[in-house]
Amino acid sequence: MPIVPVDQFTKTKLDYVVVGGGTTGLIVAARLSEDPKVTVGVIEAGGYHEQDPEINIPGMRGLALGNPKFDWNFESLPQKGLDGRVVPLSRGKGLGGSSAVNFLLSIRPAEEELDAIEALGNPGWNWKTFLEYMKRSEQLYEPSHLTPEKAVEYAVGPDPDLFGHDGPVAKSFPTHVTTLHSKMLDSLEKLGVPRNPAHAAGKPVGAFLIPSTVDPRTATRSYSGNAYYAPNAARPNLLVLTEAQVTKVVLEKGSDGLQKATGVNFVKDGKTLTVGAAKEVILSAGSFQTPQLLELSGVGNKSRLAAFGIETKIDAPGVGENLQDHAIITTIVEVDPEVETLDMLTNPEHMAAQQKLYGTQQGIFAAVPTSLVAFASGKELGSDADILRWEKLASIESTPEIFKDTPESVKNGIRKQYRLLSKWVDQNSPLAQFIHWNGHLPVPGLTPKPDGRYISVVSTYAHPFSRGTVHIASADPLKPPAIQQNYLANQTDLDVLSGCLRLTLKMYETEPLKGSVVQKVYPTYGSDVDKDTAEKHVRACLGTLWHPVGTSAMLPKEDGGVVDPNLLVYGTSNLRVVDCSVIPLICSANIVTLAYAIGEKAADIIKAAHK
């Protein structure tokens, strides 16, 4: 059924209510409504951006950010590690959620990182099962636009067995590649980061052309909105309500002693309304708003809820704890004037030519401007002594100040995570990621030359050692939660990002890329930069790669878990969380592939529970 009016929504007897029509929410809704006997209702706070070019055109991605039509525009609390600076934290708003505004990179993490999710106490959540469900969500288009020689040059080698071929989300390889791509790959190779065409096999260390969620038949974004919702919009048993914000899950104690979610309250056009759920309520509001909704509904740390006058239904100390995110730093260089970068679009003639080219699904707008990625391990980022130090810094005792209010159970879980993190710094596991951006990224105070051409590289640690929190700051459900990232609290995070800066600067200084670099722009110094100066750059430019996870962690209860391996909130019989907030330990890659897998697997779990 198309998007429905509110009266129809509240009058329909719904079996499942999905809160948040984002990346994962729409997957669950689409899969559950395959059964015509069940009725599924989705409540999404934003609209449906079906025709918006900022969403659909790959080369325009990023333009939706900051616009309240598409973006919640959250902010971190002032960050001590960043001299009190606040970091903007975009989240997608509207059908498709963050998959509608994300940067379309579609990369698999490392095998050991997904096996770790099982090892932390979640049977059935490992590399093998994640891979199976990632494949179910995707349809890979072979890189037929590349000759076999070019495929080798760009490290493109999709093993058909590692990808899905008939799933809803289209995945393809960038069609717009510049003359610098090969040079970057060659220079990285000289620095110990080899071409890695086999990255999708759970071994991402190396460099390669990034698969992206672009539908090559139309050169448009493929995402939850148009892949999972649009093809099923006519189903009479799938009802979607947009521009309605859920404010609370209604919980009642059942005869089994468990809390039962009977429905949700939501605000639509200023009015608070209720809708019932006969079978389940599924929270898919994302890593910031799912814990917020749990707390507003009385599921959280008892003393925290009491402070806001909220009656505790379930004392769940893990809610909103264990926040992890990938933080990025930026570098920019000016390059040869003949390289085709986004900077050329400031010239009206080039803009007109590129718009025309897009009409034939080619050119700069048809592809993502971030088409090259590299993952480096510890040995490319620090000395043996650094690695030993990082292993030791993987502990709660390294940063007691950020754990002073952390519940004991949550600390138990984080200790187990640290044991894994300390192993990964010394192996061939990814420790940092580098993403090429084909143009001059905006930096306050820097103005690109009118005819200049630039490339930027953003880099991030794979696994932050710091942990943050997200909690309600008010009992008013329409107020944003307080997001405390604690960026750079642990020295390892600062060291790894400083290592990223040095490695990127070295890449610019290494032939053949060096020959195409006109000058360094941001920063202007070389890779032999001293510690203090490198750290200053990190603190000045740190931002987010928008990958928050862990705030409703799937972990044993005694380790601060909020949901069990069936994604049921502990202490409830029918309230599940299905979104990235359940990922207990962040992995190295961009996380949307995990979101797709979680949505697909959750749908199977829920179907099996109601057979």
Ligand X SMILES: Cc1cc2nc3c(=O)[nH]c(=O)nc-3n(C[C@H](O)[C@H](O)[C@H](O)COP(=O)(O)OP(=O)(O)OC[C@H]3O[C@@H](n4cnc5c(N)ncnc54)[C@H](O)[C@@H]3O)c2cc1C
Q: Which residues pair with 41 in a beta bridge?
A: 17, 239
- 241 vs 534, beta carbon nearer ligand X: 241
Handedness of CA 500, 498, 321, 73 (dihedral sign): negative
The only residue of 49, 93, 195, 436 in contact with ligand X, by rule CB under 6 A = 93
Stretch that binds ligand X, among 9-17, 111-119, 459-467, 592-600 (CB under 6 A): 592-600
The only residue of 102, 226, 322, 551 in contact with ligand X, by rule CB under 6 A = 102
Q: Is 327 in the site for ligand X (CB under 6 A)?
A: no
Please report how close the Cβ of residue 202 comes to ligand X at its closest, in angstroms: 16
Q: Is 99 in the site for ligand X (CB under 6 A)?
A: yes
**How far does Cα 531 stand from its chain's mean position?**
30
Q: Is 282 in the site for ligand X (CB under 6 A)?
A: no
Per the document, the length of the chain is: 611
Identify whether the C-beta of residue 157 lies closer than 8 Å to the C-beta of residue 197: yes
**Binding to ligand X, residues 285-304 (CB under 6 A):** 285-286, 289, 293
- 513 vs 578, beta carbon nearer ligand X: 578
**Binding to ligand X, residues 519-558 (CB under 6 A):** 546-547
Q: Which residues of 400-414 are buried (b: 16+ CB within 10 A; e: fewer)?
A: eebbeebbebbbbbb
The only residue of 3, 6, 19, 207 in contact with ligand X, by rule CB under 6 A = 19
Please report how close the Cβ of residue 435 comes to ligand X at its closest, in angstroms: 9
Q: Using CB under 6 A, count the residues that bind ligand X.
A: 40
- 200 vs 246, beta carbon nearer ligand X: 246
Identify whether the C-beta of residue 155 lies closer than 8 Å to the C-beta of residue 375: no
H or E element in which residue 43 lies? strand 40-43
C-alpha span between 378 and 383 (Å, rounded): 8
Residue type, 146: L
Stretch that binds ligand X, among 91-99, 145-153, 495-503, 566-574 (CB under 6 A): 91-99
C-alpha span between 362 and 356 (Å, rounded): 9
Q: Tell me, yes or no, if 440 is annotated catalytic.
A: no
Residue closest to ligand X when measured from CB atoms: 22
- 178 vs 284, beta carbon nearer ligand X: 284
Q: Is 177 in the site for ligand X (CB under 6 A)?
A: no
**Closest to 227 in 3D by CA, of 240, 211, 213, 216:** 213
- 259 vs 593, beta carbon nearer ligand X: 593
Q: Is 24 in the site for ligand X (CB under 6 A)?
A: yes
Residue 284: count other Cβ atoms within 10 Å of its Cβ: 31
The only residue of 114, 472, 592, 602 in contact with ligand X, by rule CB under 6 A = 592
- Quick one: how many helices (H) and strands (E) in the chain? 17, 25
Annotated binding site for FAD: 23-24, 246, 546-547
The only residue of 16, 21, 195, 367 in contact with ligand X, by rule CB under 6 A = 21
Handedness of CA 420, 426, 428, 432 (dihedral sign): positive
The only residue of 595, 597, 602, 606 in contact with ligand X, by rule CB under 6 A = 595
Q: Is 23 in the site for ligand X (CB under 6 A)?
A: yes
Please report how close the Cβ of residue 23 comes to ligand X at its closest, in angstroms: 3
Stretch that binds ligand X, among 6-14, 284-292, 332-340, 353-361 (CB under 6 A): 284-292
C-alpha span between 389 and 398 (Å, rounded): 11
Identify whether the C-beta of residue 416 lies closer than 8 Å to the C-beta of residue 324: no
- 55 vs 410, beta carbon nearer ligand X: 55
C-alpha span between 180 and 198 (Å, rounded): 22
Identify whether the C-beta of residue 566 lies closer than 8 Å to the C-beta of residue 605: yes
User: For residue 36, what is the DSSP state?
Assistant: T
Binding mask 213-252 for ligand X (x = CB under 6 A): --------------------------------xx------
Please report how close the Cβ of residue 213 comes to ligand X at its closest, in angstroms: 8
Burial grade of 234 (CB within 10 A; 0-12, 13-18, 19 or more):
exposed
Contacts of 360 (CB under 8 A, 6+ apart): none
Identify whether the C-beta of residue 108 lies closer than 8 Å to the C-beta of residue 597: no
Binding mask 444-483 for ligand X (x = CB under 6 A): ----------------------------------------
Please report how close the Cβ of residue 355 comes to ligand X at its closest, in angstroms: 24
Stretch that binds ligand X, among 21-29, 251-259, 327-335, 600-608 (CB under 6 A): 21-29
Q: Which of 49, 537, 547, 610 is the catalytic position? A: 547
**Binding to ligand X, residues 33-62 (CB under 6 A):** 43-46
The only residue of 39, 79, 98, 459 in contact with ligand X, by rule CB under 6 A = 98
**Closest to 110 in 3D by CA, of 546, 432, 417:** 432
Q: Is 320 left (phi over 0), alpha (psi -120 to 50) or beta?
A: left
Q: Which residues pair with 485 in a beta bridge?
A: none
Identify whether the C-beta of residue 121 lies closer than 8 Å to the C-beta of residue 563: no
Which amino acids are annotated catalytic? Answer: 547
What are the residues binding ligand X (CB under 6 A)?
19-25, 43-46, 65, 90-93, 97-99, 101-105, 245-246, 284-286, 289, 293, 546-547, 579-580, 590-593, 595
